[in-house]
Amino acid sequence: MAKYKSKYVCQECGYESPKWMGKCPGCNSWNTLVEEIVEKPKAGTVGARHGGFSAGSSKMVSITTIVGEDEPRLDTNMSELNRVLGGGVVPGSLVLVGGDPGIGKSTLLLQTSQELAGNGHTVLYISGEESAKQIKLRAERLGANSSQLYVLAETDLFLLEQQISQLNPAVVIMDSIQTIFHPDVTSAPGSVAQVRECTAHLMRLAKTKDIAIMIVGHVTKQGAIAGPRLLEHMVDSVLYFEGERHNTYRILRAVKNRFGSTNEIGIFEMAEKGLAEVTNPSEMFLSERSLGVAGSTVVASMEGTRPVLVEMQALVTPTGFATPRRMATGVDHNRIAMIMAVLEKRVGLLLQNQDAYVNVAGGVRLDEPAIDLAVAVSLASSFRDKQTNPYDVVIGEVGLTGEVRGVSRIEQRVKEAQKLGFKRVIIPAKNSTGWEYPVGIEIVGVHTVSEALRETLGG
């Protein structure tokens, strides 16, 4: 019997070890090392995993001699998806779409396939999780019945490549990468080695045949895409599909994009016949806002190149525990603790015996520091039980000394507030000069948090 060599690979981070260990030294995860067989390529052959992008040998050329080509993108007829992708699907690109189970990834990609097929592009939808009849049932509900849309239920990578070469489609949808297996790799589908080799093979296929490939990636309990971190580095774009199951709104966020802006978002509403675009997210997020309630403030946040107005809610109440609770939904928990410390030290609010709950209405998550001042105003409003002006928008970053620091793209934020009918915007004093104010809206520049509270709460 021929001898073989084996190695142990962490299924979380890809760390390799010659022997089994209970705890991975790379990511400190327990019981994640799985044995994989190491196979040497046969003499005189070159394995597919070692092939390059070009069929022949490449030569060095000066960058000044390279002729750039402005290749048109494929229009998906979905403005929100086009925005996230940077203007449409780029031929020859590899796009990874991740999200929680049941969030709508397959629905989004099947709708995208129908739109592209309706524009005359040949689309191949590959599923390793559903049969062709099951895909047909979902396609009938979504109205995807174009003759240019082909369906294939297969998981063998080599058979998939044969079908792609035979059809020569413009776009390939693959649902999902964890179900596809490379016949030359002995580990199970979904393992680190399988995901890495299949993705590398698909990348070469996309570049050599100029086919746009969109693959679905499963996520872990922590919300990260399953498989090695290398997977996100290999692809051209990484899109995360976010949202709450009990909420009808879904957010498609670009965290990596070689052909467009990062941190762009597209907003969709899950309806009976699929996902519907939300063209005015600010109006949607503020549609159920209560007026004249303490603890409610509107903030203008930038999501990529788009300003979005959302409601920041806070509830401060006396605690019944030895240690007060600090709960945050949609914002960073540590940032809330820091802002409360600033309010207590610099403003004089006694919050050490108060529970605090902060929520961003609508299910959106905000990460930028420009929301700090709105959080501070909401907390102070709830603590003092004083309502803020419902037609005010608050923007600014808060420092540890209680100062309000400047933010970027203030003109776009203010114009969005004016468009939705707000009358006044509280902004950092640094941002209050050097540009022309829109007509019909008052701009108030503040230097400190105390000054901002005097403007919004009257003291």
Flag whether 402 is marked binding.
no
Tell me: is residue 99 an annotated ligand-binding position. yes
Ligand-binding site membership of 101 (annotated): yes
- 102 annotated as ligand-binding: yes
Judging by DSSP bridges, how do beta strands 33-38 and 5-10 pair with one another?
A: antiparallel
Residue 104 marked in a binding site:
yes
Does 22 show up as a binding residue in the annotation?
Answer: no
Rounded Cα gap, residues 349 and 369, in angstroms: 22
Three-class secondary structure assignment of the chain: CCCCEEEEEECCCCCEECCCCCECCCCCCECCEEEEEECCCCCCCCCHHHCCCCCCCCCCCCHHHCCCCCCCCECCCCHHHHHHHCCCECCCCEEEEEECCCCCHHHHHHHHHHHHHHCCCCEEEEECCCCHHHHHHHHHHHCCCCCCEEEEECCEHHHHHHHHHHHCCCEEEEECHHHCECCCCCCCCCCHHHHHHHHHHHHHHHHHHCCEEEEEECECCCCCECCCCHHHHHCCEEEEEECCCCCCEEEEEEEEECCCCCCCEEEEEEECCEEEECCCHHHHHCCCCCCCCECEEEEEEEECCEEEEEEEEEEEEECCCCCCCEEEECCCHHHHHHHHHHHHHHHCCCCCCEEEEEEECCCCCCCCHHHHHHHHHHHHHHHHCCECCCCEEECCEECCCCEEECCCCHHHHHHHHHHCCCCEEEEEHHHHCCCCCCCCCEEEEECEHHHHHHHHHCC
52 is in an annotated binding site: no
User: Can you say whether the dihedral through the CA atoms of 287, 289, 292, 296 is positive or negative?
Assistant: negative
Binding site, by residue number, is 99-106
Which residues does the annotation place in the binding site for ATP? Answer: 99-106
